[in-house]
Every structure is written in structure tokens, then in C-alpha cells.
Structure 1
Amino acid sequence: MAAVEAMNAAPEYRLLARLEAAYDTLIDASEALATTWRSEGGEAWAFGEACADATWLHRALLDFWYQDGQDGRSTRSHVGLIAATPPLMDGAREVNAAKRAFADLLGQIREEVPSLLPEVKAVLPFRHPELHDHLRGSGLARLHLKQCWRAIPLAPAPVARVRLAWYASGRSIKRLSVREAEQKLLALDTDAPHVRIQLRQLAGIPDGEPLAQVQQQAPLMRANLFFLDPLEDGHIRRAMNVALPLFIPADEGRLPSHNLPPQHPPEKRTRARRSDERLEQEPFLPSLRVYRYRH
């Protein structure tokens, strides 16, 4: 009956019905993966946890919720290593396929009917209320969509050793034209002296000069994987970001050698600045984090 009603509904609600089904598939696949690990019993290690047990893995796989005060742009990490037997690797691939399907439908909704997003966020959390019982009393049962669709990291082949390290120097760079930078400054308080100074500075450079707006990224954990045999591309080492447990193919269910990274990222930049750094060291428009390129 529900399926017939969905078929007769407006196109946007058919999309919502498909997204609900994709969300259910994601939950079921994640639950199945946690259950498979309980039965397979491969070795595991969890960063910052006393025990890498089934409860930890279940929480990591199904942590789809905002916490009180969490920045909407940030995501929580569950760093760990899982020695994955073939059935476990198959289950992890199924979860990632479900995540891709969910993300694709969500992207379609964002593009075609963005007005539906509030309903998406209102409806999905209550399809599986047992997943957020601990949030009910605080009124915090809000779905974090990015934490739903971010992929589980999978090593492409057996690994000899893993070296984990904080990566705290990441940044995203967006090119801006002088005109775009001017519009962003004019959107600020133009009566403020520091904004007027920056507008004057901007007026003193050529209109065609490209500028760079820089956003520093939050520290993240990166895993350097050293493979037993060269990969198809000939490489024996690969770096991966690991916000979720890293599944490593291991027929015997044993973890490779790995280090224990420090509990917290370094407070200061640990890598030397490159001699070929393309941006000037000091921001040209500090209010916008905008830099000029070196000439």
C-alpha cells in the first residue's frame, strides 16, 4: 500500500521515498557488518579506546548524529584498524555501496528540490528511533547527513605495516577574482576602519589579478599503508585519511604492525614551508583570509 502511494505521489515525494529506502538499506548493511565482525572475531584496535569491541564498532559505524554544540561543518572521527576476513571486507564494500546510493539521492534532492531538505532531516531520524534513544531527552535527535554517507576506508590489499600520524597542515584554496573579493568585503561592515583599509588595498591591484581564499582544515588522522606486494600501479605505499575504522584484508584475522599516534594533534605546524609556496605568507585581505599569489 505504501509503495502504491509513493508511486502516485508528486515526483519530489517519490524521491523522498527512495531516499528513505536507501537510508534503511544503509542502516541494515551497517548492522549486518557489525554482526559479521562479532562472528568473525578478527583483531582490532581503536584509537583512544580501552577496548576495540563490538560495541565500539557498532557505535562507529552508526554514528549519524549531531552532538550538543557540534559545528555543522565538522564530523566526529572513529579512528581504528580492523583485520578483515573476506566476508568482512565484502560487508564493508556493501556498506560503502549503500552510502554511495544514499549520497547520490541526497545530491539529486539538493539539486532538484532543495526545499525538501528540511523534511528529509525531520523524517529520517525517526525511521530507526532506537539508534538515537540517548538523544531523545535532550531534543538532539538531529541527523548529520555527512556522517551518514562518508565512506569506510578500505585497504586495497594486505598490508605489512601501518603508520598513523596527525595531519594538521591541510587547507582548501579557492580562487577569487578582484571583483568577487570586493563583493565579499562590501557585504561586511563598510563603516569599520579595517574593512575600508582592505577595500583601498584591493583597489590598488590590477582587476585581472587572481586571489586565493584559504580555509584551514581541522586536523585529521592519516594512515600510511605499506603493502606486502606492489599494487597494480606499482606502488608499495599509499596514504589514506581515516575518519572511520580502516578495514585491512587479513585472511587470518590478524592486524599488521602499527604504531600508536599521540592522543592530540600538534599545536603548531610541524612541516617546513615549501620553498615553492605559491601564496604570500601574510594575508592580503585578513577579514576574508585572502592571499595574493607570489610574483
Structure 2
Amino acid sequence: MNYIAVDWGTSNFRAISVREGQVIRSVQDTCGVAKCERDALAEILRQQLLRLEEAWEPSLPVLLCGMIGSNIGLADAGYLTLPLSFSDLLGKGRVLNGILPNPLTLRPGISDPRVNEICRGEEMQLAGAIALTDAHTFAAVGTHSKWMTIDRQQQRVTGLRTLMTGELYQLVLNHSVVGKGLPPQVASASAFSEGVVVAQSVGAQHSDLVSELFRCRGRYIFGKLDPAFAASWLSGLLIGHEILCGHPINASVCFIGSQALLSLYQQASEVLGVSCSTLEAETALIAGLNEVFRHAG
């Protein structure tokens, strides 16, 4: 399995050269789809692939996933609708001709119109996680965390839910009164855990998360929280709330993401008593695309 994987989302770009199913070189950039003019996307892709140097060859298939396959990307690859068989998840994408000398394919996203949910990019991480683990519930965590459930007996993806944890964290911390006037922030494991515990009490009391977001400010104003730890407390509150909302009762969850985020989700899960495992996003993505090639025969 020799190919180039491109994970091109709203904010970031990543190209990965794969030989015999293993990563040999990768490049990253902040030229996310939303930051680029649509007419410039093809040229940006060409220039980024050249950064792979000897790991790029014009004969290598290029598989693209993420927002590059949306209506603001190179072309709209559409969505596959849940419930979705594993076979269809790994099926053919949209072939684009005339953009690169390489064979170029856009992977479709997945959707569940029953609950107005859509997802692009994380579906390939899910495909890899299905192959690498025995879990039934998965959460690809980040700006917009995607919680996905599967039925292994029926070989189907059955559920999709988005929780805007990362974006809400950034908005509250950087664009609301809660974050105004704070000193430089210092990571605090104890403040993070305190935030998780508050999220747990919000859920137990059927209380209001929106009120607790503002009370973060009240906590440091009244000296109950070190202002330098406000970001950690807020992160704990939101991640704790996400886990409580997203995971089925008594089920284990496999978190997929960056190592930094995975450590936070592990810590929150320990506080909440939730069984979990972790998988780095790139590992899951490459495993998923390898499965696409195996499926194609």
C-alpha cells in the first residue's frame, strides 16, 4: 500500500507519504481550507506535496479527506448516510482528474440526517480505530469532537454526535468576559480535575452548564480559583461535560486525537470513573486509509 494521505481540514493541512502501509514522511501547515481562496486550493496542494521531496512521486495515489471534500473545498464529495455498513465506509470516493499528475480521490464524509449531524475527516480515523481496537464507542476529540458508535455484529456505523468542546473553550477563554484580565495561564492538573467534578455535579443535578461557564469568573474573583489556573479549570469543565454527554452508560470509549488532548481526556475519564482507551489521530487515519486500499483489493 503506497500512497499519499492528505488530511485537509478547516484550520490545518497535513500530507503523509505512506509506503507498505507505514508513514515515511509527513508535512504540516496552517493553510486550512477556510483560510484559502477556493481557486487557489489546487496550486496550494501541488506546492505542499512538493515539500514531501523524494517521498512524492507522480504515480502515487493521493487520498484526501476532511473539509477539502466539502462545498468550500476542491469539490464536494458528499456524505454517506448512517446507519452505514463498514463496507460502504471503505468504498470508493470521488475521483478528480486534471488537478495533479497523481490519481486523486476525495473521501466523502458521513452524516445522520435524523439528528442533523455531519462529519468530515474523522470518519477515516473511525475506520482505522475499528480495525485497531475492539471498542464500540469512539470519540475523535478536538475543536468539534465527533462521538461515533458502531455495531460490530452487524458491521455498521450506527451513531454520530458532535460536541463543540474545543471551539467553545476558545470562545469563552479568548472572546468572553470570563477570560478578560487573566494573567498568563499555567497548566494545573488539580484545577482541571476540579472542573471535571463540577461538570459531574452539573449533570447529577440537571443544572446549567452555561451558568457554570460564567461562574468560572466568579470563582477567581472570590479567590476560590487561582486566576492562572482558569484555563485548566474551564478545560476540565467542558471536557468532563463532553464525556458525560457523549458516552453511553457503562460503556468504554476509545478516544482519538493528539497526545496532548488524549492525556486530558484520560484524566477526566479517571475522575468520572469512565473506562477508556486512546489512539493517536495519525495512527488511526493511516490505519483507516490502509483499510480503504485493502477493501479495494
- TM-score, normalisation: structure 2: 0.23
When Rg is computed on C-alpha atoms for both structures, the one with the higher figure is: 1
Whose relative contact order is higher, 1 or 2, with alpha carbons under 8 Å and at least 6 apart?
Answer: 1
Larger strand fraction of residues: 2
